[in-house]
Structure 1
């Protein structure tokens, strides 16, 4: 079966809107008929919780999958996938043991940067996903290096604040280091998030990022919207919880841009 397009949402700055971006991309792609596998690479489990999967993951989780890649003679990555209540969406959830994964990967002797790649390859042998969407943890460690090595595109959300902009340098340096191993890795784009144009600091932040990165920035920006927090509280993806909210519609517009970047066709959205 064909390898899916792997999108990774990443930023080591907390509060950047990374998990909201990943969760919304998953639903927006699924709405267009694409089959999507979401993978939660953060031990905080925010993305898993958003999809109502808080109680899942004791046996089927990303930590267990990566640990089993070399341990099991007949490893089958599809066995770690959890079905969701959302059409076209499956998941590999996070687990509290993910905190141990950095050390575990560091201690592996051979190809320790390719364990996530091996997981994706195994899944592709039996499952036909159009996209894999990763949420990542807010560190620039071995696990995220693994995820970047397995990815096709990195999408970077940036909070419209002085601290948010200040953190871009580190994540871009991490990307450059990873791209030496994964020659096909590209920056899909930078997303300005939590935008409130009534504040001058937001306008200043946007201009700074545009001056630095120009065409790499998506046209669509994600506004500050209380619907995002409400959906998180109710443990439901924004696009199904508040489908007509401003942020939900912005994420749909952003997804159209993402599809253009990765060379996929936009489909008719079935609401």
Structure 2
């Protein structure tokens, strides 16, 4: 089972929307997928209310409890978030989350949404994962945010040498604003090797899809069509990275 962590140390970057659409896209390609919600806000859980819940993320954090699924092609199961996740700060949290993920199985992919920080829960996820994807907004402090995320990745990879950085995905990008175009150019120049050459724009369709808990293909509007095209191009790229283009 290939495990993809979607993380950023800042909220409001479209992290959960991107994670949920990756889940839908993987399932659309015929893969079985577990959606793991490690955020106390439980937004990823809400995106999959129609899917079977097979576990609670709090059990992973407190008891290192792995999940054992047995999914068929295209099926999605959920490890639900919990309101008390944010309050868990014991010394065992990192080890528990890492152990739970490492010992879990039963699906082709596991996509893990995380709280907006690089705390013990997120580091634990990175220690038990295969890939890290970092959505970023192109704002004034984008460069600082990238440096912090790179530091977190390097620290985690020192322990988990199987962890790969997929890259930094520009998210909620407003191509109309010169300041954001300038920020994208600056980020791409400074971090050429790790900035993904796709952008997720600031479209209403993403908000609707997140609120309704549906894939972008179900949003039959002009915004939906644009979102499908750009997210589809990004997902094709990601799929090639994590699945060898198969």
* Structure 2: distance between partners of 1:155 and 1:66: 21
Q: Per-residue deviation at 1:76?
A: 5.7
Is 1:63 matched with 2:53?
Answer: no
- Check whether the contact 1:153–1:188 (CA below 8 A) recurs between aligned residues: yes
Which is bigger in relative contact order (C-alpha 8 A, separation at least 6)? 1
Q: Per-residue deviation at 1:178?
A: 1.2
Superposition RMSD on alpha carbons, in Å? 2.5
1:251 alignment counterpart: 231
State TM-score, norm by structure 1: 0.80
* Structure 2: distance between partners of 1:238 and 1:158: 21
**Local SS of the residue matching 2:186:** helix
**Local SS of the residue matching 1:95:** coil
2:31 alignment counterpart: 34
Distance 1:23 1:228, change over 3 A: same
**Local SS of the residue matching 1:66:** helix
State TM-score, norm by structure 2: 0.88
Q: Per-residue deviation at 1:164?
A: 3.7
Question: Structure 1: any 5+ residue segments left out of the alignment?
Answer: 70-74, 267-271
Q: Per-residue deviation at 1:217?
A: 2.1
Is 1:94 matched with 2:81?
Answer: yes
**Local SS of the residue matching 2:35:** strand
- Check whether the contact 1:76–1:123 (CA below 8 A) recurs between aligned residues: yes
2:115 alignment counterpart: 137
Q: Per-residue deviation at 1:113?
A: 3.2
**Local SS of the residue matching 1:96:** coil
Give the number of aligned pairs: 242
Q: Per-residue deviation at 1:156?
A: 0.8
Question: Structure 2: any 5+ residue segments left out of the alignment?
Answer: none
